Amino acid sequence: MWPDIDHLLASPWVYLVVMALIMCDVYLPVLPSGTSLIVATVYAHTGATNELALLGCAALASTTGDWLAFRLASRGSGRLRARLARRPSLARADDRLRSMLRHHTGRSVVFARFVPAGRCVVTFACGSDPDISARRFQPWSAVAAICWATYTVGLGYLNALLFHTTWISAVVAVVALFTVGMLLARTRPATELVKSS
């Protein structure tokens, strides 16, 4: 099994696998998009692939996934509002979330990209809100994607420099990624986001 994984990580197919995971994790936040990007970056340090190409692919996939999810949410916004109207407590929480996103769109989109499941919640909430246009959302989504991709690839690259064993550096980088995400999730903006959702 391990030789097959090594072969995949050393082949150009790794770019497509990483892009697919990043595009889809806006729908399924449990997908290991950050982990796969870190592991691919650690292997790229051995000369198998290119770190800058991984960074570009990750940012492009994240922005594209956000755009598709935003469009999907905007098409189903009428049905969502009709369902929320039947549950007053959910409708109130949705109103609080939308109010926060309208006033702090940029900060919320960028911050949510680093919080577990935050990308999913914010992207679908923005897409289903008629007051938040794609023109307003998309530039912030691109900024969030570039920041996240740079941070994640940088984390993998730094660990590849510090450790000479690829699997040790990958494990350390993944643990650091999750630790930072959990610490951010405990900050006040993230707490407000969770309470609003």
Q: How confident is the model at residue 181 (pLDDT cuts 50, 70, 90)?
A: low
Q: How confident is the model at residue 169 (pLDDT cuts 50, 70, 90)?
A: low
Sign of CA dihedral 11, 32, 122, 88: positive
More confident residue, 136 or 8: 136
Predicted TM-score (pTM) of this structure: 0.77
Distance set, CA 45 to CA 102, 141, 169 (Å): 41, 28, 11
- The two structure tokens encoding residue 26: 């806006």
Please tell me the least confidently modeled range out of 11-15, 152-156, 173-177: 173-177
Sign of CA dihedral 67, 155, 34, 8: positive
Number of domains in the chain: 1
Give the range of the structural domain holding residue 51, as residue numbers without chain letter: 2-25+32-196
- The two structure tokens encoding residue 133: 């246009």
Q: How confident is the model at residue 194 (pLDDT cuts 50, 70, 90)?
A: very low
Q: In the 8-state DSSP scheme, what is residue 186?
A: T
Please tell me the least confidently modeled range out of 49-63, 100-114, 181-195: 181-195
DSSP characters for 124-139? Answer: HHHHT-TTS-HHHHHH
CA distance 21 to 191: 27
Distance set, CA 63 to CA 15, 31, 53 (Å): 15, 17, 15
Task: Write the pLDDT tens digit of every residue in 28-59.
Answer: 888 888 888 888 888 776 666 788 999 999 99
Amino acid sitting at position 138: Q
